[in-house]
Amino acid sequence: MPDSPNYKILLVEDEENIAKLFQFSFKRSGYVCEWAENGIDGLEKLKTFKPDIIVSDIMMPEMDGHEFRKKLLENEELKTIPFVFLTAKGDETDILEGYDLEIEDYIVKTSSPKVVTAKIGAILKSKKKEMDKAVNEVQQAASKMGAKVVPDEFPVFEGYRIEHWHVPFKNVPGGDFIDYFNLDDDNLIVVLGDIMGKRWGAWYFAVAYAGYVRSAIRFVLDSGENFSAASILNKVNDAVYKDERLSEVFITLSVIMINKKENTVYYSGAGDLPLLHKSNGEVKSIRSNGVLLGFMETGDYEDIKFNLEPNDILFITTDGITESRNPAGEFFGEAGLKNILANLSGDENPVSAVKEKFTQFTGGNFEDDVSLISIKRLA
């Protein structure tokens, strides 16, 4: 019996007989295996099939293995998938060229299928050990620092029900962060950020960014400036742009200020997804034009102001929800959230509805950190 029957392999091989032979061997060992005839077909398969390892021939028509690998290296997500060249060639120059493309190994396909399968298994086990080590280090660091990037409790704000749902990718502290700040009795700040890329190291940057946001809020309060969501973003951008550690780490950030006395919202965003606002049964997208934080020296972020009527609902989310897919490869998308929001009954919990529908859609297979904040004005 195989040790890890759920591992998935993408086999890219133009010779059908060889492909069938290796597919049979992989599947018999408990792996899920998809076959692509060349690099172009492989890229198409990767739009819906997310393998744990890619095994590719080099000599193929239309797009050979080297060109295929180069295309993968241009994609931040696909480049991290372990890659093995499977070829009939044993020339030293050819082998060295393969390693220059950041591959895991180079297997001569005249080896028996059992040997090839064993090597693939060894690579996957090694990668799992590396990942487990990285996960353990992040979890230990999070525990020692006691630094939370998502609060355990929801804020209490009279006249409103505010809740969030957060699931870190593979249960590892990740790159999304949520924060709430009571400025005074009438004003509450809601913050949602998403570190782009960095996978296992994203938590460290999330802690740093969350610290910058808190510092920016304190600075604006102490300075006596006209407080707004945009003033926070502009201050954070100033600090991030000058920080060499963070200047090349891209982040999306949504900042919302709610005034319960006037029931107004001031919203400013940096490269974030649009807010979804349900009012009188109609769902609208509210989009900011703010660039990613630290991308430019002057962000020139601006406020978008709107009112919340009784029973109005706001959704704020990161792309971990919208860019997740179902087993058929279809994206949940903004449309999926809009549909849930549009069909909510008056007494239905918005966060619970998203949890149920999203989990059903994805089969519980989340592809990134999942974060959603729901803000509802009570009747």
Q: What is the pLDDT of residues 70-96, one digit of tens each?
A: 999 988 778 888 999 887 765 556 666
Rounded to the nearest integer, the mean pLDDT of the chain is 84
- pLDDT surpassing 80 at residue 106: yes
Question: Is 161 in the same domain as 134?
Answer: no
Question: Is 132 in the same domain as 171?
Answer: no
Question: Is 122 in the same domain as 194?
Answer: no
Q: What angle do CA 171, 176, 180 make, to 5 degrees?
A: 115
Domain-embedded: residue 116: yes
Continuous segment of H or E residues that includes residue 176:
strand 176-182
Question: Is 40 in the same domain as 136?
Answer: yes
Number of domains in the chain: 2
Helices (H), 161-303: 202-223, 229-242
Question: Is 235 in the same domain as 110?
Answer: no
Domain-embedded: residue 1: no
Question: Is 88 in the same domain as 26?
Answer: yes
Domain-embedded: residue 2: no
pLDDT for residue 349: 95
Mean pLDDT computed over 208-229: 76
Domain-embedded: residue 43: yes
Question: Is 134 in the same domain as 170?
Answer: no
CATH code of 359's domain: 3.60.40.10
Mean pLDDT computed over 123-127: 85
| CA-CA-CA-CA dihedral for 91, 92, 93, 96, to nearest 10 | 130
Using the structure block, give the residue that is written with the tokens 């295929």.
68
Question: Among residues 93, 122, 143, which one ends one of the domains?
Answer: 143
Distance CA 155, CA 151 (A): 9
Burial class (CB in 10 A: 0-12, 13-18, 19+), 76: exposed
Distances (CA, A) of 240 to 120, 195, 218, 229, 377: 42, 13, 16, 17, 34
Question: Is 180 in the same domain as 256?
Answer: yes
Question: Among residues 124, 143, 162, which one ends one of the domains?
Answer: 143
Question: Is 279 in the same domain as 222?
Answer: yes
CATH code of 53's domain: 3.40.50.2300
- pLDDT surpassing 90 at residue 204: no
Mean pLDDT computed over 227-234: 86
Question: Is 245 in the same domain as 277?
Answer: yes
Domain extent for 260? 148-377
For residues 175 and 205, the answer to whether their CB atoms sit within 8 Å is yes
Tell me the pLDDT tens digit for each residue of 356-366: 999 999 988 88
Question: Among residues 143, 171, 197, which one ends one of the domains?
Answer: 143
| 9-13, 26-30, 366-370: range with highest mean pLDDT | 9-13
- pLDDT surpassing 80 at residue 27: yes
Question: Is 217 in the same domain as 161?
Answer: yes
Question: Is 258 in the same domain as 355?
Answer: yes
pLDDT for residue 1: 36
Domain-embedded: residue 318: yes
pLDDT for residue 173: 64
